[in-house]
Amino acid sequence: MCTSIAHCSGGYFGRTLDLPTPFGQQVIVTPRRFCFPFHLRPSLESHFAMIGMAAGVREYPLYAEAMNEKGLYMAGLNFPDNAFYPGEPFAPGAVAPYELIPLVLGSCETLAQARQLLETLPLAAIPFAPGYPLAPLHWQVADSTGAFVMEHTRDGIHIYDDPAGVLTNNPPFPFQMTNLAGYQNLTSQPVENRLIPGLPLEVYGQGMGAMGLPGDVSPMSRFVRAAFLKNNALWGEEELENVTQFFHILDGVSMVKGSVITPEGEPDLTLYACCCSARTQSYYYKTYTNNQICAVCMASCHLDGSELSIYPLQTTQQILWQTEPPKKI
């Protein structure tokens, strides 16, 4: 389970990634001349540079999410039982699910270009390699002009405008928006007595305008909570202020280890949370075991080359001691 958020007007995009176990994730910068091979279409030998979290398998970056140098962001989120990829015979030029982020971010400069590409792009049920699972995904795509969601189900490709700037998991996106409509009464403002306006009911605390905001971590509840937090958040002018705010929003939909147990008996948790800044081409992240925000600036990397730049995650908790630390922790 995961949550992806797009603060489009500010140029900040990111997500939580929730899984019971790590998948070898690292921050990877792919330069413009790294060759992306495809199964059913010509290789992409020259493209826009991109940065994101990926598993580096066989020197190939399997991106969970990434942003390219033009500020276009794309994230794949779990969509089990609904995602569908056609099998053989494959359509000419079809792409495997893991090829989608490299193709879109490598080829497209804007959200409009990405939408035009995806509207007619066939997918193919091709795993990364024999023995690898075929991940059931849907995708959020965003830039400074807006966001949309792409879902491929048994009845074909669907692209939906995403005015809330949020994506979680099941059910399909239209159901998420229908459910969101049921929470239009929520507000960040002080509570107003609409029950019986003439009755002197005492207000006993702040935040009561958001009473009814779901607190569980199911996909539909996270969608509502993320939409409420993101669209009521106060944003500033400075990068670090906004990055900090972005992570506070992601904290509101993160999973505490032990609070969710999978059907296989494993604890689900937020392995990492990230924020991509289109303004500075920077990728910020923190992990479950390290609350310190770490960052990699794509603009500081050699982007005209062909070799991946790989940055292992900083997973050890960082604490700034303002006194001498204790002898034993």
> How many Cα atoms sit within 13 Å of 4 on the Cβ side?
28
Query: Is 2 a known active-site residue?
Result: yes
Residue pointed to by tokens 């705010």: 245
Determine which one of 2, 108, 274, 276 is catalytic. Answer: 2
- Candidates 131, 123, 120, 129; CA nearest to 90 is 123
Q: How far is it, in rounded angstroms, from Cα 79 to Cα 76?
A: 9
**What are the angstrom distances between the C-alpha of 37 and each of 29, 32, 43, 44, 170?**
17, 14, 4, 6, 31
One-letter amino acid at 56 equals G
Give the residue ranges of DSSP H helices in 192-235: 219-232
Task: Please provide the DSSP assignment of 27-78 as one string.
Answer: EEEE-TT--B--SSS--B-S---EEEEEEEETTEEEEEEEEETTS-EEEEEE
Is the Cβ–Cβ distance between 160 and 148 less than 8 Å? yes
Active site residues: 2
